[in-house]
Structure 1
Amino acid sequence: MAHNIHDEVQQVLDWAVAEDGVPGIVAEVHDADGTWFGTAGVADLALGHRRQSEEYLHVGSSGKAFTAATVLALAAEGRLSLENPVNTWLPGVMESGGYDGDKITIRHLLNHTSGLFLTGLAPELQHSIATQSARIWTTSELMKLAVSQPPVSEPGEQFIYANGGYYLAGAIIEKVTGNTYLAEVERTVIRPLGLTHTYVRPADATSYPHPYPKSYVAGALKDGVDPATLTTANWASMIDHDKPPIDVTALNTSWGWAAGGIVSTTEDLTRFLKAIATGGLLPPAQHHEMWTMVANDGVVWLPHARYGLGVIEFDRAGMGGLTVRGVSGTLPGSFTLALCTDDGRRSVVIHTNIEPKTLDIPLKIIKAMYGVALD
């Protein structure tokens, strides 16, 4: 069965390059037959270098699981509680946006039920990414960005994916410990798991260690579009997919920070996911908290997926009786999906050096790995 899985995953990789316009894609599979690594396409469109194992990859919002795990480790140490209101640690920070920091808890920040708006599409952030690729965002600026638009719901009322909650969580980590976010992620996650090729990307970084794939944006904004006018409603219609891919490898990603600032490899990300999925990193109580899912009314981007604390889990009915857990993330020029069964026995990590245009790639990977066609 394992050999068939590998063949089917390779077929998805080949399809992604030939049919879906992906420059390059890799997959690392761990199953009963051991470890298998597959690749298709190129890491560099100009030079034609093939994708390879051990590449350093920006994993985008998969980094939220590192932030959540760090917070949960601090909870296990008795240094904070998930039920602490934000004002306990960051008094007054939320008030400028009309938020009540006495009602919004750390748990709300981590499971996206805080009522914060969809930070990723804030006009000032999109304008910065599009026109100021070297801008370095400070922690103070990110916290202000998080509350720069009014609440969209009451705390605990609705799941709305908001990077801003993780900016605040990162700031709380620093306030509680007196250390940097980077230092605490290293102490609580990276070093305990021996993730020797994983790090928090420095705020001023514009490159990656070798080897790494170039990062590409599939379509630029249509001519004449002002990035400041982008909204969740008009975003898709503003992209011109007929324009050639743009190399954005040197893009500064300081705006990711605690919401998505981790660089890793397929091997390290596999080790991390297996540890958090099986209970190998956190004590039982905190492991349970991480995998306590919230109702999301179908707004998590993959069918049958629900959200916990920085992680996703597919309902067993949708996955044919399997409990499949994972993390995922996108940012300009990068897409990562990491999945494994809750016993850690069957896992896959994929990465594309462009953001896929549709859900076809992850859905095909899920079918190849777990034999389930999600709809």
Structure 2
Amino acid sequence: MTRITRSWMSASVVIAAVLALPAQAQAVADDDHASTRASLGALQAISGPGAGLYAGDGAGSWSLSVGTSDIFANRPVQPTDHYRIGSQTKTFTAAAVLQLVDEGEIDLDTAIERYLPGVVDGNGYDGNTITVRQLLQHTSGIPTSDPHPQASADGTYTLAALVRDGLSHSPAFPPGTSFQYSNTNFEILGMLIERLTGTPVSKAITSRIIEPLALTGTRFPEPGDRSITTPLVHGYRGVRVGPFSYWQDITTFEPSIFSSAGGMISTEQDLTTFYQALVDGRVISRPALNQMETPSAYSSSGLGLDRLPLPCGGAAYGHNGGVPGYLSLSLATPDGRHVSLMTNSEASLDMAAAMAKMEAAATSALCEAPAGQA
């Protein structure tokens, strides 16, 4: 691997020009999972310097990797590597909310004003007209926006600051009449969890979901904790010019700017365990799971859980995630098939194409005939 570091750059920014990265490092033989391997390579070709996939069914699991998790080490992405999972955090947040529904603490069709008086108010918003269900399924009318919240003195962000920033944008539509994906919805839900449990949302999700499922590679970082446990996949921002790729390492950033909408860290193996447990009815009750899996009239999104129809029949349930440096997707089916994959660049210049290729790789893994399981 050829690389060039630019000594004139700030010491906190390293940019490397990397020739085409090797794609030979897989955990299965070269003649196994050929279609999925090709799809994963197509994803990596327009996204990060590396990509990894962990998949299987009730009989076993297997993994693939192309490129590298670290441009200075030529290291394949492994199923136990840690990375920022972005909006896959939303499914954990939604599951915690549905647990509170099971416990009789929340009614999905009750207005958020009942639980968080005065929080969703002003600038065209009325918390009496927005239900918990509408927040979970992104039909609240609260629009998507680039976050520009007011930081605390230590450089961290509170959920209240994130929500104020989100609600500074006028409603996109009347509640319950359309769909628009918005982090603010799940930041409000984070506040809801905190109000009803009396603990920070990070601790509530840890005690309710992460610890009971023994997700030892998963954590919800506290504000100010910018670290990622090793082994890790480095996250990058970059561009490709002919045979060269220019990468800037952006692994470290303040996670509280995404919080309950996207602040968590996990691994491919842990995410598989979580989504399988969820669709098996081991995280919330079956009636609550049915609510979670049911899409709204305006999208394929349920309550923090998306539905992906499969060309081989049936459907898979899961969520994608994108934060600076990382793009990921995890899916599970009721019959035990699973896939979790990631690439170490958000591919923000062509996000739609990257997500399409990510879904294609996931679909290939879920629908292919098992071969060479390891």
TM-score normalised by length of structure 1: 0.82
Correspondent of 2:81 among 48, 55, 63: 55
Match of 1:279 in 2: 281
Q: Give 2:214's aligned residue.
A: 194
- The percentage of counterpart residues that share the same residue type is 29
CA 1:158 to 1:360, structure 2 compared with 1: closer, same or farther past 3 Å? closer
1:352 is aligned, of 343, 358, 365, to 343
1:62 and 1:329 in contact (8 A); partners too: yes
Of residues 303, 328, 331, the one that matches 2:323 is 331
Indicate how the Cα distance of structure 1 residues 5 and 243 shifts in structure 2: closer, same or farther if over 3 A, else same.
closer
Cα 1:262–1:46, aligned 2, differ >3 Å: closer, same or farther? same
Tell me the distance in 1 between the aligned counterparts of 2:34 and 2:245: 33
2:249 matched residue in structure 1: 247
CA deviation profile, 1:12-35 (whole Å, cap 9, x unmatched): 333444x32530111111225511
Structure 1 unmatched runs, 5+: 221-241, 298-305
For 1:95-114, what aligned pairs fall within 5 Å after superposition?
95-114=121-140
2:304 corresponds to: 310
Deviation at 1:367? Answer: 4.2
Is the aligned partner of 1:173 residue 2:185? no
Q: 2:111 aligns with which of 85, 91, 102?
A: 85
Aligned to 1:224: none
| Superimposed CA distance per residue, residues 40-84 of structure 1 (whole angstroms, 9 cap, x where no aligned partner) | 111111333332231111110011000000001011111121122
Matched position secondary structure for 1:337: strand
Corresponding letter in the other structure for 2:238: A
Decide whether aligned partners of structure 1 residues 95 and 340 sit closer, same or farther in structure 2, where only a CA change above 3 A counts.
same
Closer, same or farther: CA 29–243 of 1 in aligned 2, 3 Å = closer
Match of 1:69 in 2: 95
Q: Is the 8 A contact 2:43 2:358 kept in 1?
A: no
**Which sections of structure 2, spanning at least 5 residues, go unmatched?**
1-27, 369-374
d(CA) in 2 for partners of 1:92, 1:270:
38
- Look up the equivalent residue of 1:314 and give its one-letter code: L
Distance 2:81 2:56 in 1: 17
Q: Which residue is 1:365 aligned to?
A: 361
Q: How far off is 1:292 after superposition?
A: 1.4
8 Å Cα contact 2:40/2:358 also seen in 1: no
Partner Cα distance (1:72, 1:153) in 2? 26
- Of residues 268-277 and 362-371 in structure 1, the stretch that sits farther from structure 2 once superposed is 362-371
CA RMSD of aligned residues (A): 2.5
- The AA in structure 1 aligned to 2:232 is Y
Q: TM-score, length-normalised on structure 2?
A: 0.82
Alignment check: 8 A CA contact 2:82 2:232 kept: yes
| 3-state SS, counterpart of residue 310 of structure 1 | coil
Distance of 2:47 and 2:134 partners within structure 1: 37
3-state SS in 1 of match to 2:255: coil
Q: CA deviation at 1:243?
A: 8.2
Task: Spell out the pairing of 1:114-263 with structure 2 (5 A cutoff).
Answer: 114-119=140-145, 121-122=146-147, 124=148, 135-219=155-239, 244-263=246-265
Whether the 8 Å contact between 2:47 and 2:346 is mirrored in structure 1 is no
Please state how far the C-alpha of 1:102 moved relative to its aligned partner. 0.5
Question: Residue type matched to 1:9 in 2?
Answer: T
The reply on whether 1:289 has 2:291 as its aligned counterpart is yes
Match of 2:46 among 16, 20, 35: 20
Asked if the contact 2:66/2:77 (under 8 Å) is kept, the reply is yes
CA contact (8 A) 1:5 1:368 kept: no
Residue of structure 2 aligned with 1:341, choices 333, 338, 349: 333
The 1-side partners of 2:315 and 2:73 are apart by 41
Following superposition, the deviation at residue 321 of structure 1 comes to 2.6
For 1:178-234, what per-residue CA distance to the aligned partner results, in whole angstroms no more than 9, with x for missing partners?
Answer: 1111121122211221212111122112220101011111359xxxxxxxxxxxxxx
| SS class of match (1:28) | strand
Q: How many residues align?
A: 331
Report the counterpart of residue 236 of structure 1 in structure 2. none
SS in structure 2 opposite 1:37?
strand
Cα offset, 1:254, TM superposition: 1.2
